[in-house]
Every structure is written in C-alpha cells, then in structure tokens.
Amino acid sequence: MTMQNVGRPTRPEDVQPLETGFTSLTGGRGLLQDEALIFERDGWTKTGVDLPDADLDGSDLGDLARAAPIGLPGLSEPEAMRHYVRLSQKNHAIDLALYPLGSCTMKHNPRLNEKMARLAGFADLHPMAPLPTVQGALALMDRLSHWLKTLTGMPAVALSPKAGAHGELCGLLAIRAAHEAKGDPRRRVLVPTSAHGTNPATAAFVGYSVTEIAQTEDGRVDLADLAAKLGPDVAAIMVTNPNTCGLFERDIIEIARLTHEAGAYFYCDGANFNAIVGRVRPGDLGVDAMHINLHKTFSTPHGGGGPGAGPVVLSEALAPFAPAPWVVHGPNGLTLVEETVEEAAQAFGRMSAFHGQMGMFVRAYAYMRSHGADGLRQVAEDAVLNANYIKARLSGVMTPAFPDGPCMHEALFDDSWLEGTGVTTLDFAKAMIDEGFHPMTMYFPLVVHGAMLIEPTETESKQELDRFCDALVALAQAAKAGDVDRFKGAPYLAPMRRLDETLAARKPRLTWKPESGVAPAPLAAE
C-alpha cells in the first residue's frame, strides 16, 4: 500500500470488487455519462458565440500579434451546456446531502445571497470607478465591518484578504509590523500540534520559524509547554478556537495573558467561529487578530474550492498596521484610503489589488441581516447541538477522541474502534460514499490517530442527522462483523471507483496533450 506521509493510503488496493458483474456496452453508468474532455471533441473550429467581424486593418501591432495557433477548442452552446451539466452530475454538493467535512463548515448557501450579489449595482461595478458612483458599495463594506467588529468585540477590521490563509497572512503581517515599529523584530511563532497546515505555512511565509506547542490529554493547548516556549523572541502564537479537535480552549484567557506577558500577540484562527458566533466575542478572550472565513461562518458558497473571503479583525494594538484599503467617512460621503501614506503611514502595505472580495461581502451581509443577532446566536447553538447529537449517537459504535465533556461544532473520533477489522479510516470514509454521504475530514488533526472529524453545521435537520447516524452505525457494525470487501473496494456506487493518487503524483499529467504529441490542427485550415 502506498501512503502519504500522514499515513493515508493513496493507491487503491487489489481487492475483488463487490459487484453484480453487470456492465453497460458503452462504458457509461446509466444516466451518468462518460464525458470526454473538451479537447477530445473535434471542436477546433467551433464557437458558441456570435460576434461581429472585426478586422485588424490599420493595427500597428505587427510582430506583437500572435501567429501560431493557441490550441483552444470551442463548443456550440447546446454542446457546452450539456458537457458542463453532465460533469456537474458527478459532484457531491451540500444541496444534495450532509457534507460533514470537519473544519470546513459546509452549511446551506442561501440563494437570496446569490441574487443580491448579482444586482447590477454590485456585479457591474468597477473597482476604480469614481468614488461618487460607488457610495452604495462603500456603505455595504462599512456595514459589514460594523457587524464583524460587533460580533467579535474587536475595534478594527481589514476586509481585503481573499481567503482564510490570506487572512492569516494579513494578521501575521500586522503583528510583524507592530513588533518592527517597537524596534523589536522577533523570530518565532508558536503553533499547537493540532493546528491546520496553513498556520505553520503562513508563519514560515512571513519569515518566522515555527515552534510547536504540545497538546494535553484532553485535546487542549498544554499551558506548561506554552509557558516554557514563550520568550522574548516569540512574535505570536496562533491558536484555533474552538480548536481543530472541536473543543473550546478552556484556558484561552490564560493563554492570552501569558502571551501578552511575553510581549507576543495572540493570533486566533477563526475557521471555527461558527461554533461561537453570537455567544462569545473573541475580543473578550484577549485575541489580537483573527480571520473570519465568510465562506464558512457566513454562508458564502465554497464553489468547489473558492472563492472565499477572509476579513481579519484586529485589536487596538494592531489596528494602526491594517493594510490598505479601508472605508472612511468624509465630508462628501464615504471614501477609500488606498495609499499607505500620511495618516495611513503605519499600514503594512496591501494584500491584493483593489478592495477585497466584494461579491462575498454582499452575500455575507445578506446572510447576517437575514439571521440578525438573535439568529446568529441560534446558529452557534444549533451547530453545537447537532455535533453533540452525532457524538452521542455514534459513541456506542465508534470511539470519540475526547469522550469527556461536550464538543463544540464538530465531533472527533479516532480509529481505535477499527482495530483488528482490517478497515482503515480511509476505507470507512469511502464506504460512506456508497451510502450517499460525503466523507468527514480524515487524518486531521494529525494528533489523533486515523482521525475522523465530523462537522454537521446548524442547517441539518434532525431527520437528516438521524439518516446519517443510522448509515454510520450500520457501516460500523458491518466493519466489525468482518464485511471487509464492502470497505476495501469502496466506493462501488459512485461515479468513479477509488482513484490512484500515487500514479497521478509519480507521472504528473497536468494538461491534456494530443496523443500524437503534435499540436492539434485547429487552425490548420487558416
């Protein structure tokens, strides 16, 4: 078996499939069509748009013009529609069933948000249009900022980071700037062993070395180890709260106190804010910076891997270092501070071109207004209730990693209950697909052996949770009963069987290439 370095198998095992032996004559699977790549459909001279002719007479581009074929196929509109709709049907989605990826907060994505983001006044708005013509957009950014600051109890927010990891970068750059302004550049960042990979990656990105903090038996930051590792060269700690084990850091206020005492700043990874929104303000915990994944807590769609948005709330100490741009109230309405000069001279720079993920701001704001203060509090409560319900219902057959006390918005199990069955966490997860569910997050956090991290979110009904738990209980019983083939060969009923990740990495094929090795003949006719 080939493994990743986190112990996850990456190659399907050679096990006889559990199947009827029935295959179609064409290789299709009923309505799930085998769909060729656009490059394999002889569309080299096709187009699905009707554009007027334009000649290049009079152009002085000369040898700047592209002569060689580009190699782009086209499809007519009906073909393109069918191609992408067929592909879509090979995807799982939150609109189809529970999507219990821990740490990802796959909640319902309201379509009102989509409708609002597509209003011409937002969608057809240029980022550099004159300020008098974008007052509504600036007002929306201002209102979103107010909500984020109020919900977190923090005095400032930088809206421009484009995703969670980009927000982490923003927070650490503010921390770095704050230390440099004091003439005390520091070298190290402390990160718990259970942290998400983006935390150490971001710290390294900013030029810090990373020191790991140990975890206690009950899944929290080890205070003694933290105290031992804090020192005058520590710039910050990065702690996720609730943490990646789905637990609230009980000693969070003491963690903040020790950190500040050492002259360091407290970066909180806000990926799990959904568990506490409306009930706990990170500002009350001593946090100096925290990113908020609008695509998690505030329901903007994940879109198959983005776009996200990762605004960062900042404490009084870090606020002066926030990156440009930001919205200010001026005599002639709202305006943008876009340059890091004059009153903004302490700003550490710019995270990206323009002003951030406006499309996501509109969606997140529509969501906040829909829920309101009362609804958001209910969001956290139901998210935590749902996770604890799953933990309670599955604890009879699976082993919770931290059985004592409640979990927050996600339930974490280890793989000790699979010992001796011959079934791994990965096998179990793949078998869930055959039962119609997306697997949970696996092998993360790294501190729990064979981890299975289940986050249901608040938008699941009790009926759906029961359906999910019933399926997992049945699967667990099958695993313990020795029905190993069901797991080893899984999935059987998905659009594809288990894929060979080892082969993909060993011989990377990252683009389509014509079999003949010569360029396609798109414009051979020209």
Partner 1 sequence: MRYLPLTPDDRAQMLGVIGAATIDDLFADVPAAARKSETFDLPNHAGELEVERELAGLAALNRAAGAGPFFCGAGAYRHHVPATVDHIIQRSEFLTSYTPYQPEIAQGTLQVLFEFQTQVAALTGLDVANASMYDGSTACAEAVMMARRVTRRKKAILSGGLHPHYAATTQTIAHAEGMDIVRQTVAIDAEAAVVEAIDAETACVVVQTPNVFGVATDVTAIAEAAHAAGALLIVVTTEAVSYGLLKSPGEMGADIAVAEGQSIGNALNFGGPYIGLFACREKLVRQMPGRLCGETVDADGRRGFVLTLSTREQHIRREKATSNICTNSGLCALAFTIHLTLLGEVGLRQLAAINHAKARRLAQALGAIEGVEVLTKRFFNEIAVRLPVDATAMVDGLLDDGVVAGVPFSRLDPAAGLDDVLLCAATEMTLDEDIDAFAQALARRIGR
Q: Identify the residue whose tokens are 């069918």.
A: 82
Indicate the residue among 478 and 523 with the shorter CB distance to partner 1.
523
Residues in CB range of 354: below 8 A, 6 or more apart: 127, 128
Indicate the residue among 386 and 421 with the shorter CB distance to partner 1.
386
Indicate the residue among 73 and 270 with the shorter CB distance to partner 1.
73
Indicate the residue among 481 and 524 with the shorter CB distance to partner 1.
524
Indicate the residue among 343 and 420 with the shorter CB distance to partner 1.
343
| Cβ count within 10 A of residue 92 | 16
* Shortest CB 354 distance to partner 1, Å: 3
* Shortest CB 87 distance to partner 1, Å: 4
Chain centre distance of CA 471: 26
Token code pair at residue 43: 């569309």
Indicate the residue among 319 and 426 with the shorter CB distance to partner 1.
426
* Shortest CB 428 distance to partner 1, Å: 13
* Shortest CB 475 distance to partner 1, Å: 16
Angle at 282 between CA 109 and CA 110, to 5 degrees: 10
Could you give the C-alpha distances from 196 to 17, 87, 202, 240, 380, in angstroms and in order? Answer: 35, 31, 10, 8, 21
Identify the bridge partners of residue 265 per DSSP, sorted by sequence position. 236
Continuous segment of H or E residues that includes residue 234:
strand 234-240
Residue-wise DSSP of 20-36: -----SSS-BTTB----
Indicate the residue among 372 and 481 with the shorter CB distance to partner 1.
372
Q: How many whole angstroms separate alpha carbon 284 and alpha carbon 280?
A: 8
Indicate the residue among 264 and 383 with the shorter CB distance to partner 1.
383
Q: How many whole angstroms separate alpha carbon 194 and alpha carbon 202?
A: 15
Indicate the residue among 238 and 264 with the shorter CB distance to partner 1.
238
* Shortest CB 289 distance to partner 1, Å: 15
* Shortest CB 370 distance to partner 1, Å: 5
* Shortest CB 477 distance to partner 1, Å: 19
Could you give the C-alpha distances from 82 to 69, 77, 219, 387, in angstroms and in order? Answer: 26, 9, 49, 39
* Backbone angles phi and psi of 124, in degrees to 5: -100, 45
* Shortest CB 521 distance to partner 1, Å: 11
Indicate the residue among 332 and 420 with the shorter CB distance to partner 1.
332
* Shortest CB 422 distance to partner 1, Å: 17
Q: How many whole angstroms separate alpha carbon 239 and alpha carbon 220?
A: 10
Q: If we measure between CA atoms, which residue out of 69, 72, 78 comes closest to residue 48?
A: 78
320 preceded by a cis bond (ω within 30 of 0) = no
Indicate the residue among 264 and 334 with the shorter CB distance to partner 1.
334
Q: How many whole angstroms separate alpha carbon 495 and alpha carbon 89?
A: 9
Residues in CB range of 97: below 8 A, 6 or more apart: 436, 437, 438, 464
Q: How many whole angstroms separate alpha carbon 10 and alpha carbon 3?
A: 5
Are 296 and 429 a contacting pair, CB within 8 Å?
Answer: no
DSSP 252: H
Instruction: Tell me the three state secondary structure of residue 360.
Output: helix
* Shortest CB 329 distance to partner 1, Å: 15
Q: Identify the residue whose tokens are 């983006």.
A: 198
For residue 106, which amino acid is it?
M
* Shortest CB 20 distance to partner 1, Å: 14
Indicate the residue among 271 and 420 with the shorter CB distance to partner 1.
271
Indicate the residue among 476 and 490 with the shorter CB distance to partner 1.
490
Q: How many whole angstroms separate alpha carbon 119 and alpha carbon 127?
A: 15
* Shortest CB 9 distance to partner 1, Å: 12
* Shortest CB 136 distance to partner 1, Å: 3
* Backbone angles phi and psi of 157, in degrees to 5: -145, 140
Q: How many whole angstroms separate alpha carbon 412 and alpha carbon 445?
A: 9
445 preceded by a cis bond (ω within 30 of 0) = yes
The long-range contacts involving 302-305, CB below 8 angstroms and separated by at least 24 positions, are 302/94, 302/104, 302/106, 304/91
